[in-house]
């Protein structure tokens, strides 16, 4: 699947989306050639063609809802927003879900100008191209868990489409075990990496959880941070000349993206973004000024780079949707004072064995692992929980591993 990702398909998607002139959230819904409605219908058509290769496992739907002036400060007229959602249903654990998204709306200098040309090649036709190409190469293959490929509008008006999807999923009790958003992934400036943003302290952390964390640590081991570690590790095994640059922040400084509404609902979520953004080519009216060209045009996109971002997404999604679920109720047992470390957890469906992973408290990545046979507890002899960070992950018979889980303390009953 990684090898089948094609930069030419990426380029076709980006150029087609740019050809609609503007994809501003408040642009035309009905013009067949210009506006967000034309982009929506084209994306729906592309995903429908991809679904035809899935042997019935993929379905495509339009999730529409209305917003009105006053509900959002960047919405100035009654507007219908539509998420385009393709669901590749898992064959073994369909209720465990992974979501990958890009936003198909665009903007020029003003987020409320629905008439100006807003090509949005990098922001964010590039992210939509990642989603479509990942769907294309993955749809023919069965996976144990469900993968949702999604293009959303309203990102430039404060994450409206993704917020609607995340809130609706939470209301319906959907088990989203991981979410990726791809936003501004079109240009490398010669740097063969993609940034991966992940929060440390969970957005939805309660006061009690914060008190526990202050006592035991864990600010570098949220579910989203562990998801990011797993993505980076998978990418390092799957791509030889392209890598993931882990950024330990929820998002760029004082900015936000479509993963944030998922974090707010308690779902693990991360953001992919190019390593060195060029602000002349995002959120700008197309123009030449003092000899400098502004505007988010296809000429500034590196299509092979976008294809590599798609490969990272594909490799990580395939691993997640194949591996057992992450262990639940992972505990650090504190019933005895000792220099050993006692761990316990609940069994994961499909696990052949488990791995206890650990690292120095000052290290960012897992350094070591210990294979644990099909058991739900383990004592790490001679290694104090005070001196190391520990985690537990589930592994199937072929070596597909879940993200690690940071343990919570459990004392005497």
Mutual orientation of helices 36-51 and 126-138 as an angle, nearest 10°? 20
Closest CA to 321 of 92, 53, 54: 92
Q: What is the pTM of this model?
A: 0.96
Q: What is the mean pLDDT of residues 330-338?
A: 91
Cα(98)–Cα(10) distance, integer angstroms:
22
What does the pLDDT look like over 15-50, one tens digit per residue? 999 999 999 999 999 999 999 999 999 999 999 999
Q: What is the mean pLDDT of residues 136-155?
A: 98
At residue 156, does pLDDT exceed 50?
yes
What is the maximal distance between C-alpha atoms in the chain?
Answer: 72
With b for 16 or more beta-carbon neighbours within 10 A and e for fewer, the 287-326 pattern comes to eeeeeeebbbbbebbbbebbbbbbbbbbbbbbbbbbbbbb
What does the pLDDT look like over 212-256, one tens digit per residue? 888 888 899 999 999 999 999 999 999 999 999 999 999 999 899
Domains of the chain listed by start with CATH number: 7-322 (3.40.630.10), 328-410 (2.60.40.10)
Q: What is the mean pLDDT of residues 294-315?
A: 97
At residue 196, does pLDDT exceed 80?
yes
Phi-psi region of 266 (alpha: psi -120 to 50; beta: other; left: phi over 0): left
pLDDT band for 413, please (50, 70, 90 cuts).
very low
Closest CA to 53 of 138, 178, 118: 138
| pLDDT of 371 | 97
Q: What is the mean pLDDT of residues 310-320?
A: 98
| pLDDT of 46 | 98
Count of Cβ atoms closer than 10 Å to residue 148 Cβ? 22
Q: 102: part of which helix (H) or strand (E)?
A: strand 93-103
Q: What is the mean pLDDT of residues 54-69?
A: 97
**DSSP string computed for 171-192:** HTT-EEEEEEEE-S-S--TT--
Percent of the chain with pLDDT over 70: 100
Percent of the chain with pLDDT over 90: 94
pLDDT band for 412, please (50, 70, 90 cuts).
low
């Amino acid at each position: 699947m990684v090898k089948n990702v094609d930069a030419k398909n990426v380029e076709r998607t980006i150029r087609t989306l740019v050809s609609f002139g503007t994809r501003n959230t408040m642009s035309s819904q009905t013009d067949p050639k210009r506006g967000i409605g034309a982009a929506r219908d084209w994306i729906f058509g592309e995903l429908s063609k991809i679904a035809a290769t899935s042997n019935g496992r993929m379905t495509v739907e339009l999730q529409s809802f209305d917003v009105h002036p006053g509900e959002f400060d960047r919405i100035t007229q009654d507007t219908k927003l539509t998420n385009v959602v393709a669901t590749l249903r898992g064959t073994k654990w369909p209720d465990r879900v992974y979501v990958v998204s890009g936003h198909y709306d665009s903007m020029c200098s003003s987020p409320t100008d629905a008439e100006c040309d807003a090509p949005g090649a990098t922001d964010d036709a590039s992210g939509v191209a990642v989603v479509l190409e990942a769907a294309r190469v993955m749809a023919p293959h069965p996976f144990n868990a469900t993968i949702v490929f999604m293009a959303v509008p309203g990102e430039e008006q404060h994450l409206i489409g993704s917020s609607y999807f995340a809130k609706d999923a939470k209301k319906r009790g959907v088990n989203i075990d991981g979410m990726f958003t791809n936003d501004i992934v079109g240009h490398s400036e010669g740097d063969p990496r993609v940034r991966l943003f992940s929060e440390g302290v969970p957005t939805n952390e309660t006061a009690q959880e914060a008190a526990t964390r202050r006592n035991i640590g864990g600010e570098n081991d949220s579910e989203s941070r562990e998801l990011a570690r797993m993505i980076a590790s998978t990418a390092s095994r799957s791509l030889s000349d392209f890598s993931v640059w882990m950024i330990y922040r929820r998002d760029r400084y004082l900015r936000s993206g479509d993963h944030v509404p998922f974090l707010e609902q308690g779902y693990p979520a991360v953001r992919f973004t190019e390593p060195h953004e060029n602000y002349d080519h995002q959120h700008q009216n197309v123009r030449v000024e003092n000899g400098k060209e502004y505007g988010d045009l296809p000429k500034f996109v590196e299509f092979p780079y976008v294809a590599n971002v798609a490969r990272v997404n594909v490799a990580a999604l395939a691993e997640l949707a194949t591996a057992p679920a992450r262990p639940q109720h992972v505990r650090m047992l504190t019933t005895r004072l000792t220099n050993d470390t006692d761990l316990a957890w609940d069994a994961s469906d499909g696990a052949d064995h488990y791995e206890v992973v650990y690292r120095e408290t000052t290290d960012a990545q897992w350094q070591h692992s210990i294979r644990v046979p099909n058991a739900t507890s383990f004592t790490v002899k001679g290694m104090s929980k005070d001196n190391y960070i520990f985690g537990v992950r589930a592994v199937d018979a072929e070596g597909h591993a879940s993200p690690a889980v940071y343990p919570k303390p459990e004392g005497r009953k």
